[in-house]
Amino acid sequence: MRGLDRVARGIVVMLLCSVATAAASDVLHVGSKRFTESYILGELIARAVQRTGEVRVTHKPGLGNTAILFAALKSGAIDVYPDYTGTIALELLGLSGVPALDDLNRHLAPHGLAAGVLLGFSNSYALAMRDDQAARRGMRRISDLRSFGEARLGLSPEFRSRRDGWPALSETYELDGFAVRGLEHGLAYAALMQAQVDVIDVYTTDPQITRLSLRVLEDDQRFFPAYDAVLVYRKDVPERFPRAWAELEKLQDSIGSAAMRRMNAAVELDRRSFADVAEEWLQQRGPGGHGLDAQSASPRSLATTLFGPDLLRLTLEHLTLVCASLLLSVLAGIPLGVWAQRAPRAGYWVLTGAGVLQTVPSLALLAFLIAALDRIGAVPAILALFLYALLPVIRSTETALAGVGDGMRDAGRALGLTGRQLLRLVELPLALPGVLAGIKTAAVINVGTATIAAFIGAGGYGERIVAGLAVNDHTLLLAGAIPAAMLAILIEWGFRVLERCLLRRN
């Protein structure tokens, strides 16, 4: 048991050291949200900085909602990300309106942050309907929805909860009694065209609006403010990385609305990668240039996407999340399982506590750990997975030890074994198959649950799944889901081989 304690302490120290090393290293971390435009802008920022050769750049794509990115920026987990003036003012700072950039920066300064480099386009929220349905019902303005009381709304989770989203919009326009469903932005268009919903929220630079002939309802009460695209960054970034910041300043007023729509279309309609679109825009920008040629690309095959250049990186990240969390759960779960079997009253509370942890939604647990640790990335993800894996390890250990016959214990005592010797030499070896079954269950659960870690920048196969959801790309979704399923199968097979080997030795 002392050995286990030493190993556990060593793992904690290594995790803390890795975090400290990452924080101290000369790296500029770029973040982005989980919708097409933010992915593209994040890649564009990262690649622009990379060209200077001044600093190593990492892009943490598809992070959770705006609040998670803001927290990551304040904690130093990321250094810069693209956002919009309306979102910053209303959602993050809780202001009543959208002030000028200088005033906005006065409000950001106490957080150690700033906003700058207006990219040159605005991307506002709007509500949209299928044009044929809108024409049939005479819907042209948002206020017209009052006469469409049975309308089914499919709204993105963030829009449903934002201060400048549905709650305030419905109050302003007096829209009550609608059936509102939460839909990821990339899936809402398909639901609208299949008549599963009647109204969705859109971004005004979405290429799907034109492609699907949607009618954007007029904001006749001017509810939505200006959403000018801008970079939000830590105030020390220009000083820490002067050449990189000089390169980013060249993006000022460089992306028009038409250019942004073309880039979004290249990803969503032509199925090109975020990185390719961003790189092409950087290569072709210049005086009088459009920044991106309109061209069609043949759809990516599943094999090409599955075995893409990021496969090795994602696999290593996913294995790190699973193995580190599993090791922690074994080091903590087996002693707790022994305690639960030795002291049934205490064991009841141990198992109850571990069971309660299993019922906490994964995103809620991740959000809590982000707030508690004041960081995003691998550490909160590993801790969350560790907590989820505890129950099967504790339960299997307690059950397997309870199944060891009293006769075997009596024989050990008759040989003069102490309690610890009896546990180490008799009980645990006999209970090993049952303990391994619980560890195997925890490992397989963690392989699937680890995909959620992509929402907080921890990487893994979830990156592809989140990106696929953002653009409704089934190929990209499968390219993330298939390796995760294969890894679960391999882990299951590996544990079976290990069990056979141990049984043969015994």
Range from 224-228, 276-280, 428-432 carrying the lowest mean pLDDT: 428-432
Domain assignment present for residue 14? The answer is no
108 and 170 assigned to the same domain = no
CA–CA distance, 200 with 182 (Å, rounded to integer): 10
User: Tens of pLDDT along 336-378?
Assistant: 999 998 888 888 899 999 999 888 888 788 878 887 887 788 8
Range from 287-296, 311-320, 360-369, 397-406 carrying the lowest mean pLDDT: 287-296
pLDDT confidence tier of residue 474, bands split at 50, 70 and 90: confident
Average pLDDT of the chain is 85
Q: What is the mean pLDDT of residues 367-390?
A: 87
386 and 280 assigned to the same domain = no
Considering only residues 302 and 255, tell me which one the structure prediction assigns the higher pLDDT.
255
Domain assignment present for residue 15? The answer is no
| The pLDDT value given to residue 2 | 44
Q: Is the pLDDT of residue 207 over 50?
A: yes
Strands 27-33 and 56-63: parallel
Domain assignment present for residue 332? The answer is yes
CA–CA distance, 211 with 214 (Å, rounded to integer): 8
DSSP string for residues in 377-409: SHHHHHHHHHHHHHHHHHHHHHHHHHTS-HHHH
| The pLDDT value given to residue 12 | 45
Provide the percentage of residues in the chain whose pLDDT is more than 70: 91
How many domains does the chain fold into? Answer: 3
User: Tens of pLDDT along 163-195?
Assistant: 888 999 999 999 988 889 998 887 899 899 999
202 and 251 assigned to the same domain = no
CA–CA distance, 486 with 401 (Å, rounded to integer): 32
| The pLDDT value given to residue 297 | 47
328 and 202 assigned to the same domain = no
| The pLDDT value given to residue 426 | 78
Work out the end-to-end distance of the chain between its first and last CA atoms, rounded to an integer number of angstroms: 22
Q: What is the mean pLDDT of residues 402-419?
A: 74
| The pLDDT value given to residue 243 | 93
Domain assignment present for residue 52? The answer is yes
CATH number of the domain residue 466 falls in:
1.10.3720.10
143 and 49 assigned to the same domain = no
| The pLDDT value given to residue 296 | 45
User: Tens of pLDDT along 438-448?
Assistant: 999 999 999 99
289 and 206 assigned to the same domain = no
420 and 325 assigned to the same domain = yes
CA–CA distance, 363 with 50 (Å, rounded to integer): 32
115 and 147 assigned to the same domain = no
237 and 276 assigned to the same domain = yes
Q: What is the mean pLDDT of residues 28-52?
A: 93
Domain assignment present for residue 222? The answer is no
Report which secondary-structure segment, H or E, holds 351: helix 344-359
| The pLDDT value given to residue 364 | 81
Domain residue limits at 370:
311-505
Q: Is the pLDDT of residue 29 over 50?
A: yes
pLDDT confidence tier of residue 4, bands split at 50, 70 and 90: very low
Q: Which two tokens stand for residue 230?
A: 């801008």
pLDDT confidence tier of residue 250, bands split at 50, 70 and 90: very high
377 and 487 assigned to the same domain = yes
pLDDT confidence tier of residue 505, bands split at 50, 70 and 90: low
CA–CA distance, 250 with 4 (Å, rounded to integer): 54
Domain assignment present for residue 8? The answer is no
| The pLDDT value given to residue 295 | 47
User: Tens of pLDDT along 434-473?
Assistant: 899 999 999 999 999 999 888 888 889 988 888 888 777 8
Domain assignment present for residue 466? The answer is yes
| The pLDDT value given to residue 447 | 94
User: Tens of pLDDT along 74-128?
Assistant: 888 899 999 999 999 988 898 888 999 999 999 999 999 999 999 999 999 999 9
Task: Compute CA distances 421 → 1, 72, 194, 254, 393, whole Å.
Answer: 11, 48, 66, 72, 22
CATH number of the domain residue 193 falls in:
3.40.190.120
209 and 236 assigned to the same domain = no
Q: Is the pLDDT of residue 22 over 60?
A: no
Considering only residues 284 and 472, tell me which one the structure prediction assigns the higher pLDDT.
284
